Amino acid sequence: MKIFSKEQIYEGDRLTIKKQNISSADLMERAGMSLFNWLDLRLKGAPVPILVFCGIGNNGGDGLVLARHLVTHGYNVKTFVVDFSDTRSQDFLHNYERLKETTKDWPVSIHDESDFPEITNKDIIIDAIFGVGLNRPVADWVINLFKYFKRAEALTISVDIPSGLFTDRSPKQEGAVVKSNFILSFQTPKLAFFLPGTSKYIEQWEALDIGIDQEYMQNTETVAHILGKLDVLPMYKQRDKFSHKGTFGHGLIIGGSYGKIGAVQLASRAVLAAGAGLVTAYVPTCGYVPLQSAFPEAMVITDADDKHISAINFEITPTVIGLGVGIGTDKKTGDALEAFLKTNTTPLVLDADGLNIISKNKNLLVHLPADTILTPHPKELERLIGVWEDDFDKLEKTKAFAEKYKILVLIKGANSIAVYQNKLYINSTGNPGLATGGTGDVLTGVITGLLAQGYSALEATCFGMYLHGKSADLAVETKGYQSLIASDVITYLADAYLDLFAQPAPVAEQPTQA
Ligand SMILES: NC(=O)C1=CN([C@@H]2O[C@H](COP(=O)(O)OP(=O)(O)OC[C@H]3O[C@@H](n4cnc5c(N)ncnc54)[C@H](OP(=O)(O)O)[C@@H]3O)[C@@H](O)[C@H]2O)[C@@H](O)CC1
Ligand SMILES: Nc1ncnc2c1ncn2[C@@H]1O[C@H](COP(=O)(O)OP(=O)(O)O)[C@@H](O)[C@H]1O
Ligand SMILES: [K+]
């Protein structure tokens, strides 16, 4: 699913108005109506107090349309105008008048803290104060209103975007954003919903279709995408009846050091579980017995050194190499990696200490083959690209870094983001059960295994992080968040694959009356 920028959203509105020969007020009516339908379906006329807080722009206008429909359908509504500026939008004014014509209960203006109304935890707050038009820091008294909402512990539903959230930067002040329980976002979610610094203001979101021009939606290229099942399904490669293990490539995992051989075992098992035909592990000698005993499907090549990789030499011809899991940062290993990277041309996935070694010797970056995949968690990323101001800045810096070296960077996190050719691919699967040692090693293995089968770097990364997260989502159903361990993510990969083609369960038939 595409994530449109603020400029693209405004352009979509403009084009829709033109092509469908409607007014901007008509489009606002649709937006407000879609909010009403969503609420009405759930509330079914319940007399719960609904407090609609409107700004003075078009987000506020949407709130006024919603308020009007709630009034005409007999809901218990109170409307407030948060007067943060004198410049009201045309469509706000139009709907302000319409609401006044509909009810004697006119909107109440809020100018400062003394005007804050009483709110209880039984009420519903509709937050239609700021939308995507927010372009400067919010005034202190309005931030106090956001905090007042939070203290009230009422169910809070935001229109389009939680008020206070920018579309292109993080708010400077903690608490300067409405803490939403649910966001009803027009047509497309916003990038801020998925970034670690701003996602804390969001519990759930849903995109409401307001009939923005389909051709525009389809043909417009966006920087960011959120990856769901429908996005990764077309990447899936079917197996030919006459295929054999050679068809699916040979993954080589280079890594491990004394005490960290398990990382290589996890990554190598994941290579095969993702579907590669063969896997070989390249480890220090101490890894030989544990790997051969615990994992009979793998072939093992050992380094001359017992505890650390000291030279990377092998006679096989792997399709792809996954390098770095458990490898450590011993000086010998650093030298071995440098010598290897200067001659290697095989496609590469780099993770963990493999990345940390490169961070200390950035001259090595120019030796990475094009489309090398780097899989840093945020701390590893910082060592590679330096510090950033906020998540948006981090993404810009990562884009520039990936472009400079013609590589792909997968930033791991609750919503992992792949950065490639100036585009962002945001994963939608996964859960906090993955916050346990070794799950990153499994991810490296999955991506290596997919590359081995002929998936492109972008496909292997997107499909790999989707499957990895999906596997964890399915695993927690029986393992729970706390007990999930990295090996489970490998076990449940099978279910993640099967789930790609699972049909939705049929709606249970209603028993017919005799
Ligand atoms: N075609 C349509 O009608 C549709 C519209 N849609 C809806 O429109 C929403 C965007 O509306 P919007 O552009 O009017 O901006 P909105 O977010 O309401 O802000 C209002 C104004 O406040 C100002 N301002 C900004 N920051 C400020 C600050 N810190 N403190 C004080 N003032 C500040 C700034 O104006 P400025 O003062 O800069 O001139 C800004 O313009 C979108 O989210 C969606 O809900 C949908 O219904 C689809 C169809
Ligand atoms: N809260 C979370 N929600 C979803 N995924 C998570 C969460 N925490 C961690 N992950 C995922 O788990 C993996 C952890 O990787 P990493 O930090 O490298 O761990 P390790 O080095 O122990 O293998 C990444 O794929 C990351 O995206
Ligand atoms: K809002």
Interface pTM, i.e. ipTM: 0.92
In the chain, residues under CATH classification 3.40.1190.20 are: 246-414+434-455
Which are the contacts of 258, defined by CB distance < 8 A and separation ≥ 6?
Answer: 284, 286, 306, 307, 308
Which are the contacts of 329, defined by CB distance < 8 A and separation ≥ 6?
Answer: 353, 356, 357, 360
Mean pLDDT by 10 residues, the chain (514 residues): 95 97 98 98 97 98 98 98 96 98 95 97 98 96 98 98 95 92 96 93 94 97 97 95 92 98 98 98 98 96 98 97 98 98 98 97 97 98 97 98 98 97 98 98 98 98 98 98 98 98 74 48
Q: Checking DSSP bridges between strand 423-427 and strand 417-420, what pairing results, if any?
A: antiparallel
Ligand nearest to the CA of 467: 2
Pocket test for ligand 2, best of 377, 436, 447, 448 (most atoms within 8 A of CB): 377
What's the pLDDT at 508?
63
What's the pLDDT at 510?
56
Atom of ligand 1 nearest to the CA of 130: 17
Q: Is 485 in the pocket of ligand 2 (CB under 6 A)?
A: no
Ligand nearest to the CA of 61: 1
What's the pLDDT at 190?
96
Task: Using CB atoms within 10 Å of the CB of residue 181, give its burial: 0 to 12 exposed, 13 to 18 middle, 19+ buried.
Answer: middle
**139 annotated ligand binder:** no
What's the pLDDT at 509?
58
**175 annotated ligand binder:** no
In the chain, residues under CATH classification 3.40.50.10260 are: 2-221
Taking a C-beta distance cutoff of 8 angstroms, is the pair 222, 5 a contact? yes
CA of 505 to the centre of ligand 3 (A): 35
- Tokens in use for 209? 């279709």
Estimate to the nearest angstrom the gap between the alpha carbon of 491 and the chain centroid: 24
Q: Give, using CA atoms, the residue closest to atom 1 of ligand 2.
A: 432
CB-CB neighbours of 147 under 10 Å? 14
CA of 334 to the centre of ligand 3 (A): 51
Q: How far apart are CA 267 and CA 445, in angstroms?
A: 4
CA of 188 to the centre of ligand 1 (A): 17
**132 annotated ligand binder:** yes
Taking a C-beta distance cutoff of 8 angstroms, is the pair 443, 412 a contact? yes
Three-class SS of 247-278: HHCEEEEECCCCCCHHHHHHHHHHHHHCCCCE
Atom of ligand 1 nearest to the CA of 55: 18
What does pTM read for this prediction? 0.94
The CATH number of 246-414+434-455, from 3.40.50.300, 3.30.465.10, 3.90.1010.10, 3.40.1190.20, is: 3.40.1190.20
Q: How far apart are CA 395 and CA 191, in angstroms?
A: 11
Atom of ligand 2 nearest to the CA of 432: 1
Q: Is 414 in the pocket of ligand 2 (CB under 6 A)?
A: yes
Pocket test for ligand 2, best of 409, 439, 473 (most atoms within 8 A of CB): 439
Q: How far apart are CA 77 and CA 61, in angstroms?
A: 16
CA of 2 to the centre of ligand 3 (A): 21
CA of 465 to the centre of ligand 2 (A): 10
Q: How far apart are CA 354 and CA 444, in angstroms?
A: 12
What's the pLDDT at 172?
87
Ligand nearest to the CA of 426: 2
Ligand nearest to the CA of 443: 2
What's the pLDDT at 514?
42
Residue 204, helix vs strand vs coil: strand
Angle, alpha carbons 435-390-463 (nearest 5°): 45
CATH architecture of 2-221: 3-Layer(aba) Sandwich (3.40)
E strands in 344-455: 348-350, 373-374, 408-411, 417-420, 423-427
